[in-house]
Amino acid sequence: MTSDEQPASQRQRIDPYVGQYAERAVGMVASEIRALFAVAARPEIVSLAGGSPYVSALPLDSVGQMIGKLIAGHGATALQYCTAQGDAGLRERICDVMALEEIRAHPDEIVVTVGSQQALDLLTRIFIDPGDVILAEAPSYVGALGAFASYQARVVHVAMDDDGLIPEALTEAIARTTAAGRRAKFLYTVPNFHNPAGVTLAAARRPRILDICQRAGLLVVEDNPYGLLGFDGDPMRAMRADDGDGVVYLGTFSKTFAAGVRVGWAVAPAAIRDKLILAAESAVLCHSSFAQLTVREYLNTQPWLEQVKDFRELYRERRDATLSALDTMMPPGCHWTRPAGGFYVWLGLPDGVHAKAMLPRAISSRVAYVPGTGFYADGSGGQYARLCYSLPGPDRIREGIRRLASVIETEIELRDDFGPAPGNR
């Protein structure tokens, strides 16, 4: 019996509100790999899926003491509403953090957000009517694609190579969009230690990208969660440092302090900042004072920059474990990026092996990753997998990659025996 043949009463029991949702919500259905991720959280599985920072490295006792003192001394402020723009003292300290990437900003230019994710949501809310174009790297961060989709944006992917976004490909994508009678509202880019691609936009390309966008009147959204987590030398100069009018910069404390406080921020030109504040107010009234003052206090009283350096060394060790395991164990036909910072390696699979089709078998073999399909608006990318090395220790990483290599080898055998998996692209 198909659903068309079911009596109305029975269909109703499935979802009585099915005819009442907004157009944007009709396509909101749980991803098919979501159930697998619940399984992937089991301790026997090496999860290279996550994207979670290793917060256990924080000095939890002293952070706990600091917060206890904050509440006992300033609870009447920390437990109260604040303004939609966010705590002024925290915004001052955020300017110091951004100065490490050569950004000179004023606290007034900053809006504190519920992680960078809320900044992505609010920017999309402000700029995107259904069908409007957003240019974004191929692949792009899955959370950004989710925010873009929820406002019915049309994402046009722009090719990258090992030096990040390719300027010529951007020029071409803008021209193609214009030729199609559409206007791109902004370029979304993760220049440093890209999620998921693990590459970094070369310094020489940055002014070129800015120049192309300025000429096209295209706003740049520079999303930079990992900028301070580079393994070689000083942090790179942010694109925002060279263009205060054409770039909205997004930052977050999720990776340099704690994801669980959900404190991110946007730096935007005045008019956009004003709309971001109003949109934030209608979305959540205001951010948590409790979380904001905790971060402010952390920056004011704890050796936060030393902690960032500790995180760098920790993630460098895990990156090294990942790359040397991949070098040693992966079967021919695989290829991968070599990140100079951040959390991610982008693994290309042999021809005819599909990351989504392979995932259930990987989980049976007690290793998890995110299939590349999540990072393309059109669901392509099945020949890729994102490996995240931030959470498991080096030994676990090696074990996970050993298991994954063995799964891929089995897939290659299956492919040779039965042909490529369906849905492969």
Selected range binding a copy of itself among 3-11, 91-99, 198-206, 279-287, rule: CB under 8 A: 279-287
Q: Is 55 in the site for a copy of itself (CB under 8 A)?
A: yes
Q: Is 67 in the site for a copy of itself (CB under 8 A)?
A: yes
Cβ proximity of 254 and 225 under 8 Å: yes
Q: Is 82 in the site for a copy of itself (CB under 8 A)?
A: yes
Residue from 75, 207, 360, 423 touching a copy of itself (CB under 8 A): that is: 75
User: Cβ closer to a copy of itself: 250 or 330?
Assistant: 250
Residues 87-116 that bind a copy of itself (CB under 8 A): 114-115
Tell me how far apart the alpha carbons of residues 290 and 234 are, in angstroms, rounded to a whole number. Answer: 32
Binding residues for a copy of itself, rule CB under 8 A, total 88
Q: Calculate the CA 414 to chain-centre distance.
A: 33
Q: Is 128 in the site for a copy of itself (CB under 8 A)?
A: yes
Q: Calculate the CA 287 to chain-centre distance.
A: 20
Q: Is 418 in the site for a copy of itself (CB under 8 A)?
A: no
Q: Is 222 in the site for a copy of itself (CB under 8 A)?
A: no
User: Cβ closer to a copy of itself: 50 or 235?
Assistant: 50
Cβ proximity of 349 and 372 under 8 Å: no
Residues 177-216 that bind a copy of itself (CB under 8 A): 183, 185
Q: Is 223 in the site for a copy of itself (CB under 8 A)?
A: no
Report in angstroms how near the CB of residue 122 gets to a copy of itself at its nearest. 9
Residue 386 pairs in a beta bridge with: 346, 370
Q: What tokens does 325 get?
A: 């395991």
User: Cβ closer to a copy of itself: 113 or 200?
Assistant: 113
Selected range binding a copy of itself among 46-54, 310-318, 366-374, 376-384, rule: CB under 8 A: 46-54
Tell me how far apart the alpha carbons of residues 48 and 318 are, in angstroms, rounded to a whole number. Answer: 11
Per-residue DSSP letters for 88-146?
HHHHHHHHHHHHTTT----GGGEEEEEHHHHHHHHHHHHH--TT-EEEEEES--HHHHH
Q: What tokens does 77 get?
A: 């402020």
User: Cβ closer to a copy of itself: 248 or 340?
Assistant: 248
Q: Is 36 in the site for a copy of itself (CB under 8 A)?
A: no
Q: Give the closest residue to 122 by CA, choosing from 113, 133, 131.
A: 113
Cβ proximity of 374 and 31 under 8 Å: yes
Residues 232-271 that bind a copy of itself (CB under 8 A): 245, 254, 257-262, 269, 271
